[in-house]
A = this chain, B = another copy of it.
Amino acid sequence: MSLKDFANAKAVELGKDVIRMTTAAGSGHPSSGLAIMHTVITLMYDVMRWDPADPWHPGNDRLVLSEGHAVPAIYAVYADMGGVVGRDKASARKLTKDDLAQLREAASVLDGHPNPAEGFPFFDAATGSLGQGLSVGAGLAKAARLRNIDRQIYVIIGDGESREGQIWEAMDLIADEGLTKVVAIFNCNGQGQADHVSKQQSAEVVAAKAAAFNFDVHVINGHDAEAIKAAIGDPAGRNKPLAIVARTEKGWGCKSLKDQSNHGKPVAADKVDAACAELDGTLAALGSPTAVDAPSPRKPVAAEPLTKKPLTPTPFADAMKAAGMGSALEKGKIATRRAYGAALLVLGAADERVVALDGDVRNSTFAEFFAKKFPARFVECKIAEQNLISAAAGMAAAGFVPFASSFAKFLSRGCDQVEMAQITRANIKLVGSHAGVSLAADGPSQMSLHDVAFFRCASETDDGYGRPACVVLHPADAVAAYAFTWMMAEHEGMCFMRTHRPDVPMLYKPDAKFKIGGSNVLAEGDAITIVSAGYMLHVCKQAVEMLAADGIRCTLVDAYSFPLDAAPILAAANKTNRRILTAEDNYLGGLGDAIALAAAAKGNYIVNTMTCRKIPKSAISTDDIMAYVGLSAADVAKRAKEAVGS
């Protein structure tokens, strides 16, 4: 039988599954599923080399469904092919046709949108918040090249979705890196949620855009499996990245679903049979046969997974010297961002899984050390932070440990991408430099002030694998930043490290110990416990010295981690009349909140908190700007005095 006939027959057979499962769930997007059916069938049965019994196989070709709401189409094909589901190989089982009726149920692995971590390992990333899949595909393709694995990556993108700028950020990266093994397939059905798509997202204009972005472009009928296969062609012969613009119909084959108002609406239960009959009628009209088998796909290429090996951190001083910072070390002042760069350099030698990505600020974040030593394992994503984060998630899905850096401020451009990576349980390490008010002269457009609240908020969320959805590490000195970089590589799961611009003195001995959830007491007193982290800890240390001169002895705690085990801090505060003062150079939602939550759960501590309570501006020096926002050492000392009633 011709591929065309096969695909038509399967599209009708499985299209009915799509209709039935969404109706059973009471929600979902059957018309979008029908639009991509021929593409998915062509890929999964014919083009892709993969093992339905082992979706974890590192040699499998991959399919990223960027327009995640169309996922019932893939579930239907997957069940037909006997693909296995489960969180790991030990619990894996074949997906059955019966499972489809549990779509979207709490106990089902078939989430409303692609969600690999719930047990659908065919996917590499949670998608559904639109525009992110092509970046994930770029990351997967870059990872495959690094490992010299000849796997192909197919990404299906909605036409309406292609309005998201991130799609074009990914196109730029794919072109820059010459990632010819990722194929961008634009599913152009002409309909969005609220209305038709804009002319700017029409097949013609998408094709013109892709060509301008230096892709080879094929515009095809997306319901012709042979045209799809021909457009994909032989990957080995590609000189340029490939974009396929597939003209499709939303609700293909099913007249009653073609009305655009049906976006995201299942067929009413009493209309399901009629809708299925419409599909049968379509097949009859096409003259394709009705009964077809489910052939096995082609075998994946041979490949081994990347595995984690034990890491032995290089001694701190050796690493600083290796990064050319021997004299800074002797002078005793090193910015946390520089220590990060030095750590990444030695870590890169110790762990082949480590890769780095940056957004045209590698000479500020100090990812540059790594980039120079390991150019193949460094991805310059240029000024496109959304793509930076999602591409890192793609590389993590292939077993790498990506460190993605930019100014912390600019990472906030990718908050949605961070959230999606948390759903994916992506093992990525985000490093935001120049954080907080201490940046000074460049002004607020470069200062991250919301980042602590944003990243902390997921730090006590269980990711279902016994880990926090996000670990936040906030080093106060080079020793800590250095140790945290190694800790991030050791820890499986998302981490965010917040570094600062200024050079600061060392607070820790080179062999100081840190742990996720930990904190350290740096000074002990009896009047009040001052808790801080990052740059602000230095300000607090100055305040503690000023207070000591006035006879007020303070305990000083470095609370460098979220999640934070507050018990030792409360224990320290028990020796300071249960008085606590927190100080941060960011907005609300961070350390003060965390300590207040712990204290208020007990109920007999007095917690004062200082955060940045004023939108900052430029100032020449860090001291100037800290004073401007009321976070100078004198301000902290004053507040501590008030708190102790002195």
Interface residues of A (CB under 8 A from B): 25-28, 68, 104-106, 108, 110-115, 117-118, 126-131, 160-161, 163-169, 172, 175-176, 192-195, 197-201, 205, 208-209, 211-214, 358, 360-364, 368, 380, 382-387, 409-410, 412-413, 415-417, 419-420, 422-423, 425, 441-446, 449-450, 452-454, 456-464, 469, 578, 586-590, 592-593, 595-597, 599-609, 611-615, 617-620, 624-625, 627-628
19 A-B pairs in the complex with CB atoms less than 8 angstroms apart: A104-B620, A106-B619, A112-B618, A130-B383, A160-B383, A161-B383, A194-B361, A200-B214, A205-B214, A208-B211, A386-B413, A422-B615, A423-B444, A450-B454, A453-B454, A588-B593, A593-B593, A601-B606, A603-B607
User: Do residues B200 and A449 form an inter-chain contact, with CB atoms below 8 A?
Assistant: no
Query: Known pairs A129-B446, A194-B360. 9 more at Cβ < 8 A?
Result: A104-B620, A106-B627, A112-B618, A165-B168, A193-B363, A412-B416, A593-B593, A599-B600, A603-B606
Which residues of chain B are near A415, meaning CB under 8 Å? Answer: 412-413, 415-416, 450, 454
User: Do residues B383 and A441 form an inter-chain contact, with CB atoms below 8 A?
Assistant: no
Docked CA distance A456–B171 (Å): 35
Q: Which of B105, B420, B441 contacts A27 (CB 8 A)?
A: B441
Q: Which of B26, B192, B362, B625 contacts A360 (CB 8 A)?
A: B192
Taking A195-B360, A587-B457, A619-B105 as contacts, is the C-beta distance between A601 and B597 under 8 angstroms? no
Which residues of chain B are near A422, meaning CB under 8 Å? Answer: 615
Q: Which of B113, B209, B627 contacts A443 (CB 8 A)?
A: B113
User: Do residues A618 and B380 form an inter-chain contact, with CB atoms below 8 A?
Assistant: no
- Select the residue from A362, A593, A605 with max chain B CB neighbours within 10 A: A593
Which residues of chain B are near A209, meaning CB under 8 Å? Answer: 209, 212-213
4 nearest A-B pairs in the assembled complex, by CB-CB distance: A165-B165, A128-B445, A453-B457, A106-B619
Which residues of chain B are near A386, meaning CB under 8 Å? Answer: 165, 413
- Select the residue from A383, A422, A452, A459 with max chain B CB neighbours within 10 A: A383
> A361: nearest residue on chain B (CB-CB)?
B193
> A580: nearest residue on chain B (CB-CB)?
B600
Which residues of chain B are near A175, meaning CB under 8 Å? Answer: 199-200
Taking A113-B442, A192-B382 as contacts, is the C-beta distance between A601 and B607 under 8 angstroms? yes
Report copies per complex. 2
Q: How far is the CB of A310 from chain B (nearest CB, A)?
A: 29
User: Do residues B617 and A194 form an inter-chain contact, with CB atoms below 8 A?
Assistant: no
Q: Which of B214, B597, B615 contacts A461 (CB 8 A)?
A: B615
Q: How far is the CB of A169 from chain B (nearest CB, A)?
A: 4
- Select the residue from A27, A167, A445, A592 with max chain B CB neighbours within 10 A: A445
Q: How far is the CB of A152 from chain B (nearest CB, A)?
A: 23
Which residues of chain B are near A614, meaning CB under 8 Å? Answer: 461-462, 464
- Select the residue from A387, A422, A458, A578 with max chain B CB neighbours within 10 A: A458
- Select the residue from A126, A168, A380, A458 with max chain B CB neighbours within 10 A: A168
Docked CA distance A429–B192 (Å): 24
Taking A172-B198, A382-B163, A613-B460 as contacts, is the C-beta distance between A126 and B444 under 8 angstroms? yes
> A119: nearest residue on chain B (CB-CB)?
B617
Taking A161-B383, A607-B600, A613-B462 as contacts, is the C-beta distance between A450 and B419 under 8 angstroms? yes
Docked CA distance A514–B362 (Å): 49
Q: Which of B212, B363, B595, B625 contacts A211 (CB 8 A)?
A: B212
Which residues of chain B are near A110, meaning CB under 8 Å? Answer: 618
User: Do residues A111 and B593 form an inter-chain contact, with CB atoms below 8 A?
Assistant: no
Q: How far is the CB of A71 from chain B (nearest CB, A)?
A: 10
Which residues of chain B are near A127, meaning CB under 8 Å? Answer: 445
Which residues of chain B are near A118, meaning CB under 8 Å? Answer: 617
Q: Which of B129, B164, B205, B595 contacts A169 (CB 8 A)?
A: B164
User: Do residues A360 and B193 form an inter-chain contact, with CB atoms below 8 A?
Assistant: yes
Which residues of chain B are near A620, meaning CB under 8 Å? Answer: 25-26, 104-106
Docked CA distance A517–B301 (Å): 61
> A425: nearest residue on chain B (CB-CB)?
B615
Which residues of chain B are near A214, meaning CB under 8 Å? Answer: 200, 205
Taking A106-B620, A129-B445, A620-B106 as contacts, is the C-beta distance between A461 and B600 under 8 angstroms? no
Docked CA distance A445–B416 (Å): 9
> A200: nearest residue on chain B (CB-CB)?
B172
Taking A364-B193, A441-B25, A600-B607 as contacts, is the C-beta distance between A619 and B589 under 8 angstroms? no
Q: Which of B450, B597, B599 contacts A609 (CB 8 A)?
A: B597
Q: How far is the CB of A49 from chain B (nearest CB, A)?
A: 28
Docked CA distance A602–B609 (Å): 12
Which residues of chain B are near A602, meaning CB under 8 Å? Answer: 606
User: Do residues B108 and A618 form an inter-chain contact, with CB atoms below 8 A?
Assistant: yes
Docked CA distance A618–B26 (Å): 12
Docked CA distance A194–B628 (Å): 31
Q: How far is the CB of A340 from chain B (nearest CB, A)?
A: 16
Q: Which of B163, B198, B211, B603 contacts A605 (CB 8 A)?
A: B603
Q: Which of B382, B599, B601 contacts A608 (CB 8 A)?
A: B601
Q: How far is the CB of A570 from chain B (nearest CB, A)?
A: 11
User: Do residues A212 and B205 form an inter-chain contact, with CB atoms below 8 A?
Assistant: yes
> A367: nearest residue on chain B (CB-CB)?
B194
Docked CA distance A112–B616 (Å): 12
Q: Which of B117, B194, B469, B599 contacts A380 (CB 8 A)?
A: B194
- Select the residue from A197, A416, A463 with max chain B CB neighbours within 10 A: A416
Which residues of chain B are near A384, meaning CB under 8 Å? Answer: 163-165
Taking A106-B617, A620-B104 as contacts, is the C-beta distance between A441 and B26 under 8 angstroms? yes
User: Do residues A382 and B593 form an inter-chain contact, with CB atoms below 8 A?
Assistant: no
User: Do residues B363 and A194 form an inter-chain contact, with CB atoms below 8 A?
Assistant: yes
> A624: nearest residue on chain B (CB-CB)?
B106
> A413: nearest residue on chain B (CB-CB)?
B416
